[in-house]
Amino acid sequence: MIPVQDALEIILKEIKPLGTETVGILDALGRVISEDVFAKRPNPPWDNSAMDGYALHTADIAGAGKENPATLTVIYDLPAGQVPKAVVARGQAVRIMTGAPVPDGADAVVMVEATKSPEAGKVKIFASARAGENIRKCGEDFKQNDTVITKGSVIRPAEISMLATIGCPLVSVFKRPVVSVLSTGDELVDINEVPGKGKITNSNGYALSALVSEAGAKFIRLGIAKDTKEDLTAKLKEAINADAIITSGGVSVGDYDFVKDVLKGLGSDMIFWKVALKPGKPLAFGVIQGKPAFGLPGNPISSMVAFEQFVRPSLLKMSGRNDIFRQCISASLDKDIKVKPGRMTFLRAELTSTDGGFIATALDGQGSGVISTMVRANSYIIIPADSEGFKKGAIVKCQPFDSSVLSGTNTSY
Amino acid sequence: MIPVQDALEIILKEIKPLGTETVGILDALGRVISEDVFAKRPNPPWDNSAMDGYALHTADIAGAGKENPATLTVIYDLPAGQVPKAVVARGQAVRIMTGAPVPDGADAVVMVEATKSPEAGKVKIFASARAGENIRKCGEDFKQNDTVITKGSVIRPAEISMLATIGCPLVSVFKRPVVSVLSTGDELVDINEVPGKGKITNSNGYALSALVSEAGAKFIRLGIAKDTKEDLTAKLKEAINADAIITSGGVSVGDYDFVKDVLKGLGSDMIFWKVALKPGKPLAFGVIQGKPAFGLPGNPISSMVAFEQFVRPSLLKMSGRNDIFRQCISASLDKDIKVKPGRMTFLRAELTSTDGGFIATALDGQGSGVISTMVRANSYIIIPADSEGFKKGAIVKCQPFDSSVLSGTNTSY
């Protein structure tokens, strides 16, 4: 058996980011940017008002207050979207809206709430101001040619806001991997069929496709390969048209030689491992005609755990991501956990956020075929290979596999 | 000014989940299930082997071990996908593959690694076993008619695995809200244009559309409404065809009456608030011809913060979600924070997971137009309205607005 970390390292060495493509920024949400983005222009593009109010000379309102307002002459109104008509001279003010360019001469804006207009063309200012007050300076967000988004960033609404601000309707992103998903085994029937005795539905084909989607890649479902050399060879030849190949089943002791023969026939150097991972021990990996191929175990939970640990980081790396690993969160165990040492064990768990930190509950029903436990879980508890478990209250590493831990039914303000 | 919580409560009272639709399960990823799902059949569907090995009578191998194996007669091979050919009698065994139905008579499976086949038709068993060992019992995952997924669940790969296992190719989900996104203001130009002096790009139209997408809803971009009664009325009449309406700009002091008039003309009861939220104070909300309408402020960051606090929970509620609020995470401040009390303040921050818990870094540049800070942030630090800030080391509430806190560049095993 080889350690999980070693298998992962060997696999990731073979994985390279795919090429790039240009897409509209609203199609780029969740994609990975493939080059640094520089600002074509500064932001703000010019000094502008942060408030609705009056642009003026601070020297004209020095010492002004509630009891002793300064009175200025309003020379014009300046709505957002228009340009200043004239320089502001001493004793003058311009009625300015949020976002409008600050006219030359003025060195501050006093917000409208601190003013009163006693007659047309006049304004009383009931406060003093310091120079620059309520003025957003040109370039205070970023300057022309600043790097505003770095290569490898995931494009979120914030990045789209940035791209729109600097006038980039299109953006270069890494291509999304296209992944063939193939299930193997004579016991499998499609989910539309009622399985006879001895048969089960091809749930892995769907679960693995969903995991591929969830990793931001595209799946091609190739259905079920029968346990014959001919069928498996034909299906794998189709599968090679994608950027990566995932199979499930056919990698445990009994199937080993058969699948190995087929893969050799396709010119691949597959490595078959017993990985020190529970669930998910049997694993095959290789590169077939330049495409990474992952042979996952057939048990539903084993294949999902192996996907999470080996395939997901690989697909994210192909997608240009830097943060390709699920981040572990420390949590306090709410009951004792006992495991057989020897393999890194992934227990399906419920991770709950509390004011005192995270609590981890290992769920009942950890068999590698027990899907209901996966439905109830939002995280794995990771037990190191040399550990026999932990006591209640121990701090353990949890690997959330969905973002439900970041959502709640209360505002929690 | 009204508190954030009060505004949110008033808004959510008006929001109802949309209707439902039936989709293929692989199109349902991320959607919300609209009814409890019951199992059509138990899982496992029959007792089956958890291992490649030999199905046998435990009584025949009582006391067997490395030194004193029991020898049994192998009556047939049973690959996965096939049905048992005959009952196993005392003294007999069946060579069985993982997943195959356990033949009648046998009460345990001994894994192949603990056996040896000295000649065809015979097997030596080098271990004893307890009854039930390596047998997955029919229904141990779930029984027929068990509720296997509950209404309101978000469909993840685990739920898709479950639906595939019970043979459900289709699933009923809540409809995704369709949301009109409209920006207002004469100062705006589309992002393809080079803005002249006094003009800026319509970044909100893109950022808010991305936020709508990110909330699992669909956006319709209606572009820019000019500050005329005619144009705004025409654009809003279009907007009403969606399930919800978002506008940005036109809700602060200077614009108040104008927009109010237009909305009254459309028969809506809009409420204009100053919400005790920073950034994001001005907010309008109402129901126009049955559709919720959100008038967000025009400043880029203000509109994103207001979206997160008011619109996102509303869209998730329309989508049938129960966990509609971003969950706060407790984190330790890495430097002092000072704010003006009076409004609930959302500071853009970087939240980092460490072995000792989460660390929150409030970023420099908190102006409501500073987009570069939003690009660097992954979370808000929430400062209660009555607080003047916190000291370094204090535990504060952080609201992550993306899942980057759950991803890392190292495995962190």
The amino acid at residue A100 is A
Q: How many other CB atoms sit within 10 Å of the CB of residue A240?
A: 17
For residue A158, the chain B residues in CB contact (below 8 A) are: 207, 304, 371, 374-375, 377
- How many CB atoms are located within 10 Å of the residue A119 CB? 9
Query: Measured between CB atoms, which of A52, A153, A327 is closest to B405?
Result: A327
Report the alpha-carbon distance of residue A306 to residue A312 in Å, rounded. Answer: 9
Count A/B contacts: CB-CB distance under 8 Å: 369
In DSSP notation, B170-198 reads: EEEEEPPPEEEEEEE-TTEE-TTSPP-TT
CB–CB contact A140 B409 (8 Å)? no
Using a CB-CB cut-off of 8 Å, the residues of chain A touching B209 are: 26, 160
In our burial notation (b when 16+ CB lie closer than 10 A, e otherwise), range A264-274 reads eebebebebbe
**Mean pLDDT, chain A, whole residue set:** 95
Widest Cα–Cα separation across chain B: 95
Per-residue pLDDT band for A254 (boundaries 50, 70, 90) equals low
Peptide bond into B279 cis (omega under 30): yes
Chain B: residue nearest A358 by CA?
B329
Decide which of A189 and B413 is more confident.
Answer: A189
Interfacial B residues in 189-228 facing A (CB < 8 Å): 191-211, 213-214, 219, 221, 227
**Which residue on chain A is closest to B402 by alpha carbon?**
A156
Contact of A134 with A114, CB cutoff 8 Å? no
Burial of B68 (0-12, 13-18, 19+ CB in 10 A): exposed
Contact residues for A250 (Cβ-Cβ < 8 A; gap 6+) = A184, A185, A227, A232, A258, A259, A295, A298
How deeply is B271 buried, as exposed, middle or buried, from its count of CB atoms within 10 A (0-12, 13-18, 19+)?
middle
Q: Check pLDDT > 90 for residue A402.
A: yes
In three-state secondary structure terms, B214 is helix
Give me the residues of A, 294-353, that contact B with CB < 8 A: 298-300, 304, 321-330, 344, 353
Burial class (CB in 10 A: 0-12, 13-18, 19+), B85: exposed
Evaluate whether B343 touches B315 at the Cβ level (below 8 Å).
no
Q: DSSP character for A341?
A: T
Q: Give the pLDDT score at A33.
A: 98
Q: Residue range A277-296: average pLDDT?
A: 93
Q: Which of A134, A70, A86, A194 is nearest to B168 (CA)?
A: A194
The candidate with the shortest Cα–Cα distance to A310, out of A290, A282, A348, is: A282
Token code pair at residue A142: 């970023």
Separation in Å, CA of B127 to nearest CA in chain A: 18
DSSP characters over A73-119? EEEEEE-TTS---SPPPTTEEEEE-TTPBPPTT--EEEEGGGEE-SS
Q: Quick one: closest CA in A to B9, which residue? A: A411
When pLDDT is averaged across residues A203-215 and rounded to a whole number, the result is: 98
Set of chain B residues whose Cβ sits within 8 Å of the Cβ of A372: 43, 141-142, 146, 148, 162
- Candidates B375, B378, B397: best to mutate against A (most CBs of A within 10 A) is B375
Higher per-residue confidence, A46 vs A252: A46
Which residues of chain B does A304 touch, with a Cβ-Cβ cutoff of 8 Å?
Answer: 157-158, 161
Q: Closest by alpha carbon to A45, among A132, A170, A146, A142?
A: A142
Kindly give, in sequence order, each residue whose CB lies less than 8 Å from that of residue B230, ignoring residues fewer than 6 positions away.
none
Nearest 10 degrees: Cα torsion A128, A130, A135, A139: 180
- A256, pLDDT greater than 60: no
Pairing of strands A395-400, A379-383: antiparallel
List, as ranges, residues 342-401 from A with C-beta within 8 Å of B: 344, 353, 355-357, 365, 367-372, 374-375, 377, 382, 384, 397, 400
pLDDT in the model for residue A294 = 95
The conformation of residue B158, written as its DSSP 8-state character, comes to H
pLDDT above 90 for A83 = yes
Q: Do B357 and A330 touch (CB under 8 A)?
A: yes
- Determine whether the interchain pair A201/B80 forms a contact, defined as Cβ–Cβ distance below 8 Å: no
Among A165, A372, A382, whose Cβ lies nearest the Cβ of B203?
A165
SS3 content of chain B, % helix, strand, coil (to 5): 20, 35, 45
From A189, which residue of chain B is nearest by alpha-carbon distance?
A: B81
Secondary structure (DSSP) of A375-402: HH-SEEEEE-TT--EE-TT-EEEEEESS
Report how far residue A76's alpha carbon sits from residue A121's, in angstroms, rounded to the nearest whole number: 8
Q: In whole angstroms, what is the distance from residue B153 CA to residue B30 CA? A: 9
pLDDT for the residue numbered B363: 98
Contact A169 B192 (CB under 8 A): yes
Q: Enumerate the residues of chain A whose CB falls inside 8 A of the CB of residue B299.
A: 98
Instruction: Convert the pLDDT of each residue in A334-350 to its tens digit.
Output: 999 999 999 999 999 99
Q: How is residue B227 written in tokens?
A: 């500050």
Task: Give me the residues paired with residue A325 across strands.
Answer: B408
Which residues lie below 8 Å from residue B90, measured CB to CB, with a gap of 6+?
B57, B59, B60
Closest partner residue to B372 (CB to CB) among A136, A148, A253 is A148
Phi, psi of A324 (to 5 degrees): -90, -5
Write the residue in B52, B370, B409 that is nearest to A141 by C-beta. B370
Instruction: Average pLDDT across each block of 10 residues of chain B; the chain has 413 residues. List them in order.
Output: 95 97 98 98 96 96 97 95 96 94 98 94 97 97 98 97 98 98 94 94 98 98 93 94 94 67 81 91 91 94 97 98 94 97 97 90 96 98 97 96 92 85
Shortest Cα–Cα distance, B404 to chain A (Å): 8
Residue with the two structure tokens 């346990």: A227
In whole angstroms, what is the distance from residue B191 CA to residue B25 CA?
37
pLDDT digits (tens, 9 = 90+) for A2-15: 999 999 999 999 99
Q: Report d(CA B204, CA B188) in Å as an integer.
A: 10
Residue A37 pLDDT class (50, 70, 90 cuts): very high
pTM of the full structure? 0.95
Alpha-carbon distance of A263 to A286, in angstroms, equals 9
Residue with tokens 């209250």: A393
* Cα separation of the two ends of chain A: 48
Contact list, B304 vs chain A (CB under 8 Å): 157-158, 161
Distance of alpha carbon B187 from alpha carbon B200, whole angstroms: 6
Contacts of A44 in chain B (CB under 8 A): 200, 369
Of B213, B329, B377, the CB nearest to A353: B329
Residue B237 Cα, gap to closest chain A Cα (Å): 24
Asked whether the beta carbons of residue B403 and residue A404 sit closer than 8 angstroms, the reply is no
- pLDDT score of A232: 92
Q: How far is CA A234 from CA A181, A228, B46, B50, B163, in A?
A: 14, 10, 32, 29, 28
Q: Which chain B residues are Cβ-neighbours of A406 within 8 angstroms?
A: 326-327, 329, 400, 403, 405-406
Stretch 9-48 of chain A: residues touching chain B, C-beta under 8 Å: 25-26, 29, 43-46
Give the minimum alpha-carbon distance from B223 to chain A in angstroms, rounded to a whole number.
Answer: 13
The percent of chain A in helix, strand and coil, each rounded to the nearest 5, is 20, 35, 45
- Distance separating the N- and C-terminal Cα atoms of chain B: 48
Q: Rounded to whole angstroms, how far apart are CA atoms A200 and A129?
A: 76
**Chain-centre distance of CA B111, in angstroms?**
40
Rounded to 10 deg, the angle between the B229-239 and B256-265 helix axes is 50
List of chain A residues whose C-beta atoms are within 8 Å of the C-beta of residue B365: 140-141
Radius of gyration (C-alpha) of chain B in whole angstroms = 31
Segment A132-148 mean pLDDT: 97
Percentage of chain A beyond pLDDT 90 is 87
Nearest to A162 among B112, B375, B403 (CB): B375
Residues near B379 by Cβ (< 8 Å), separated by ≥ 6?
B329, B348, B349, B350, B351, B360, B398, B399, B400, B401, B405
Does B120 contact A at CB distance below 8 Å?
A: no
Q: What is the pLDDT, as a whole number, of residue A344?
A: 97
Name the residue with tokens 């309205």. B385
What is the 8-class DSSP label of residue A275?
Answer: B
Contact B344, B382 (CB under 8 A): yes
Say if the Cβ atoms of A214 and B156 lie within 8 Å: yes
DSSP secondary structure code for residue B307 in this structure: I
B323, B353, B382: residue with CB nearest A409: B323
pLDDT at A156 over 60: yes
**Structural domains of chain B ordered from first start:** 4-17+176-318 (3.40.980.10), 20-43+145-174 (3.90.105.10), 48-136 (2.170.190.11), 329-406 (2.40.340.10)
Whole-angstrom Cα distance, residue B69 to residue B355?
A: 50
